[in-house]
Amino acid sequence: MTLIDSRPGIRAVYEELSRQTGVPIDAELAVSRLGPPLTWELEHWFPAEAVPEMFARYRAMYPEIAIPRVLAMPGADEALAAARELGRAIVITAKAGPNAVLHLEHLGLPHDAVVGDAWREQKAEVLVRESADTYVGDHVHDMDAARIAEVRGLAVTTGPCSAEELVAAGAAHVADDLTAFVPLLRAGASPRP
């Protein structure tokens, strides 16, 4: 939940998936573990052989159910604008790329590119390919991606990880929300920790 608070939308999708399948899903627990790929969470609720079908059903209902319920995180617009002033704002997410684009467009958040379905090593590959010098995230695996790509990792505690966990994972700076990074990005702070 770096740029958007997707919990209300994701909670609603899990509740609908539970209603459709009759499988009890603790939607609150599921949204408390956001960050990793969707299949990891689905494996908690469905047998392995059912996960591909549930993945497809979840993804199919997501745009209609989730998008209208999601809000931008404090400072998201300003942080993306600051990143664009310095170069480009590339959104790299574990979310499905088309859904990430829908979120950004629905909320009017400025961006230059979106890469979806990326996790840890894949995020690092994108950072290297795009010659990024900074990556902002809310998960220890985001900081792992920054470390692997040898870029500065900035972290926010708006996701499932604590400040201590984010620092231990290599975050150069940790803040409560994105508003703290706007001055840092605009000041053109050194791209390396």
pLDDT value, residue 182: 81
pLDDT digits (tens, 9 = 90+) for 116-151: 999 889 999 999 999 999 999 999 999 999 999 999
Read off the pLDDT of each residue in 9-37 and give the average, rounded to a whole number: 95
May I ask the CATH class of domain 73-186?
A: alpha beta
Q: Please say whether the beta carbons of 125 and 142 come within 8 A.
A: no
- Annotate 39-66 with b (16+ C-beta within 10 A) or e (fewer): eebbeebbeeeebeebbebbeeebbebb
Looking at CATH, the fold of the domain delimited by 4-69 is given as DNA polymerase; domain 1 (1.10.150)
Residues 6+ apart with CB under 8 A from 132: 90, 126, 149, 151
**Topology match between the domains 4-69 and 73-186:** no
Read off the pLDDT of each residue in 39-51 and give the average, rounded to a whole number: 97
Domains in the chain: boundaries: 4-69, 73-186
pLDDT digits (tens, 9 = 90+) for 144-180: 999 999 999 999 999 889 999 999 999 999 999 999 8
User: pTM value?
Assistant: 0.87
Residues 6+ apart with CB under 8 A from 150: none
Question: Which position has the token pair 């090593």?
Answer: 121
Q: How many CA atoms lie within 13 A of 144 on its CB side?
A: 12
pLDDT value, residue 191: 36
Residues 6+ apart with CB under 8 A from 40: none
Helix (H) or strand (E) segment spanning residue 147: helix 140-149
Q: Please say whether the beta carbons of 21 and 42 come within 8 A.
A: no
pLDDT digits (tens, 9 = 90+) for 69-111: 999 999 999 999 988 988 899 999 999 999 999 999 999 999 9
